[in-house]
Amino acid sequence: LVAVVGEDFPRVHMGALRDRGVDLSGLQVSRGQTFRWAGEYGFDLDEAKTLDTQLNVFAEFRPSLSGAHRKTPFLFLANIDPLLQLEVLRQVERPRLVALDTMNFWIEGKREALLKVLAEVDVLLVNDAEARQLAREPNVIKAARTILGFGPRTVVVKRGEYGALMVSNGSFFFVPAYPMESILDPTGAGDTFAGGFMGYLAREGRTDPESVRRAIVFGSVMASFTVEDFSLNRLLNLKPDEIERRYVSFQDLVRFEI
Q: Supply the pTM of this predicted model.
A: 0.92
Q: Choose one of 39, 64, 89: the last residue of a domain.
A: 64
pLDDT at 211: 96
Give the helix, strand, coil percentages of the chain, each rounded to 5.
45, 20, 35
Output the domain CATH number for residue 171: 3.40.1190.20
> pLDDT tens digits for 167-201?
999 899 999 999 998 899 999 999 999 999 999 99
* 102-155 confidence digits (pLDDT tens): 999 999 999 999 999 999 999 999 999 999 999 999 999 999 999 999 999 999
Collapsing DSSP to helix, strand or coil, 186 comes out as coil
Is the confidence at residue 215, as pLDDT, over 90?
yes
The count of domains in the chain is 2
Which of 214, 156, 213 lies closest to 190, judged by CA? Answer: 156
The phi and psi torsions of 50 (rounded to 5 degrees) equal -70, 125
Rounded to whole angstroms, the Cα distance separating 178 from 72 reads 31
27 and 91 belong to one structural domain: no
Question: Do residues 197 and 79 share a domain?
Answer: yes
Residue 250 contacts residue 217 (beta carbons within 8 Å)? yes
Query: In this structure, are 60 and 116 located in the same domain?
Result: no
Is the same domain home to 121 and 90?
Answer: yes
What DSSP line would sit under 201-223, residue for residue? Answer: HHHHT--SHHHHHHHHHHHHHHH
Whether residue 35 is found in the same domain as residue 72 = no
DSSP 8-state symbol, 58: G
The pLDDT of residue 45 is 85
Averaged confidence pLDDT in the chain: 94
**End residue of a domain, out of 64, 83, 112:** 64
Regarding whether 80 and 10 lie in a shared domain, the answer is no
Whether residues 138 and 103 share a domain: the answer is: yes
Pair 239, 245: CB distance under 8 Å: no
Q: Taking the mean position of all CA atoms in its chain, how far away is CA 106?
A: 15
| Domain end (from 36, 64, 92) | 64
Shared-domain flag, residues 74 and 201:
yes
- Looking at residue 170, its pLDDT comes to 86
- Specify whether 58 is located in the same domain as 70: no
Domain assignment of residue 21, given as a range: 1-64
pLDDT tens digits for range 22-72:
999 999 999 999 999 899 998 888 788 889 989 999 888 999 998 889 999
Q: Do residues 117 and 245 share a domain?
A: yes
**Who wins on pLDDT, 139 or 254?**
139
Shared domain check, 58 and 69: no
DSSP label of 39:
E
Task: Identify whether the C-beta of residue 189 lies closer than 8 Å to the C-beta of residue 245.
Answer: no
Same domain, 78 and 155: yes
